Amino acid sequence: MAALAGFSNIGKVPELRRRIIFTLIIVAIYRVGVFVTTPGVDRVVMHQVVKGQGGLLGLFNMFSGGALANLSIFALGIMPYVSASIIMQLMGLVSKQVEELKKEGEAGRRKLEQWTRYGAVALSAFQSFGVAMMLEGMNGGDGGAIVGHGDVVTNPGWSFRLLTMVTLTTGSSLLMWLGEQATERGIGNGVSMIIFASIVSGIPAGVITYWQGTGGDVQPLTIAVLLGVLLASIAIVVFFERAQRQIPIQYSRRQVGRRVYGGQTAHLPLKVNMASMIPPIFASSLLMFPATLANMNIPGMQVFSSLLNRGDWLFHVLFSALIIFFAFFYTAVTFQPVDVADNLKKQQANIPGIRPGRQTAEYIDRVLTRLTTGGAVYIAVICTVPSLVAQSFHIPFQFGGTTLIIVVGVALETVTQIEAHLITRSYEGLTGPRMTRLSGRRPA
């Protein structure tokens, strides 16, 4: 009842209500655009092709919210922008100019955002050309890779390729703009909300397809096992996403005149999953890259792409290995123990029993390595085991761990944003009056 009372407070804050409505409008615009087909493509044949294929093509269709099956103007989704953002963060390691811009505050952040947009447009143009080549290769009448279907492209050639590049690049840029608008004027991270809407939108269609495939003969044991795996996976995701290691920090006392400053005890929180949803998203994008190269007739890429498209053990092994790699790599890029140790030293703070400076950095690095090891294994397991269970029971839509991490992570982030708006306006959070998840204290 306390949670219901917390939700009832949402309508009492006009600004929060406007932000939620604006976010819903952005999501509605995105879902309408999913059904706007790219010119020159037979939508029915494309839907049959995507439906008959699994593995990588199905994963890409899931992230686009069914836009790939419809070959809509949003077929590329928001992934080019996500990839450009990650690449820009990684550029801080090799580019001194990017590293300096990160330290310039708001002006540097805006400059990096502008470069990220340019990079997203360039990636969209490159990927859209690969999609155009892939569509032409799917023409059944030309001896393409897809047999048993009609022609996907009615008039192949450079005119179709250029038109597809312009259409898909424009659609991806529009999604990027909608995501930024939802971030500034909506309830939270607009890019995450678009990905969230893409994944959730496929659940009703998957349930209907499963019902039609079984002819109404649903096995209760199968449903019970799937629901059990789903609930257990959600509980594990919530536990690990909220898990933290709090390192105690002691501030030194100093006297200025008659006043004594410092002496307080605080904590340095380190999350178990520091990389959040980035490793599975970036691993998925990297596994989609060979398919783009194969469509450009790069030698050797066709065989590798066909192996990944099967969605068997090789795909899951590579997917898990890339997730573990990017979990360590992204954590090392975004969190620098040396910088944290220097900041603590400047603030005259230290970890009890650890000397300031190099020893503090080494201690934080050891703790972070152990946490990242557990977090990387957790992400790899949660991204593969539910998918394997769904494949074993022949479920036509993905209850994959990648989707669970994204959906649960965005849901938790959205709840946090709503609670922040409620608490700043003297309302209790969504968790009720006794204990708010943000403050962690009981009201007086």
Question: What pLDDT is recorded for position 207?
Answer: 72
Q: Which domain holds residue 438?
A: 1-200+425-444
Question: What pLDDT is recorded for position 51?
Answer: 63
Indicate yes or no: pTM above 0.85: no
pLDDT band at 169 (very low <50, low <70, confident <90, very high): very high
The percent of residues in the chain predicted with pLDDT above 90, rounded, is: 3
Asked whether residue 360 falls in the same domain as residue 230, the answer is yes
Mean pLDDT of 145-174: 78
Asked whether residue 77 falls in the same domain as residue 169, the answer is yes
Asked whether residue 407 is assigned to any structural domain, the reply reads no
Asked whether residue 180 falls in the same domain as residue 253, the answer is no
Q: Which ranges constitute the DSSP H helices of 75-189?
A: 79-94, 96-102, 106-137, 158-185
Number of domains in the chain: 2
Asked whether residue 184 falls in the same domain as residue 246, the answer is no
Asked whether residue 175 falls in the same domain as residue 49, the answer is yes
Q: How far is CA 394 from CA 311, 380, 387, 402, in A?
A: 13, 22, 10, 18
Other C-beta atoms within 10 Å of 197: how many? 19
Asked whether residue 177 falls in the same domain as residue 51, the answer is yes
For residue 36, pLDDT beyond 80? yes
Asked whether residue 438 falls in the same domain as residue 295, the answer is no
* Higher pLDDT among residues 189 and 65, named by residue: 189
* Higher pLDDT among residues 304 and 86, named by residue: 86
Asked whether residue 443 is assigned to any structural domain, the reply reads yes
* Higher pLDDT among residues 314 and 397, named by residue: 314
The percent of residues in the chain predicted with pLDDT above 70, rounded, is: 72
For residue 174, pLDDT beyond 60? yes
Q: Could you tell me which of 283, 309, 313 has the C-alpha nearest to residue 405?
A: 283
Asked whether residue 103 falls in the same domain as residue 232, the answer is no
pLDDT band at 301 (very low <50, low <70, confident <90, very high): low
For residue 443, pLDDT beyond 60? no
Asked whether residue 11 falls in the same domain as residue 111, the answer is yes
Which CATH number do you get for residue 195?
1.10.3370.10
Asked whether residue 193 falls in the same domain as residue 226, the answer is no
Mean pLDDT of 19-45: 84
How would you list the strands of the sheet with 265-271, edge to edge?
265-271, 244-251, 349-350
Q: What are phi and psi of 286, to 5 degrees?
A: -70, -35
Asked whether residue 164 falls in the same domain as residue 303, the answer is no
Asked whether residue 415 is assigned to any structural domain, the reply reads no
Amino acid at 308: L
Beta bridge partners of residue 256, listed in sequence order: 259
Asked whether residue 101 falls in the same domain as residue 16, the answer is yes
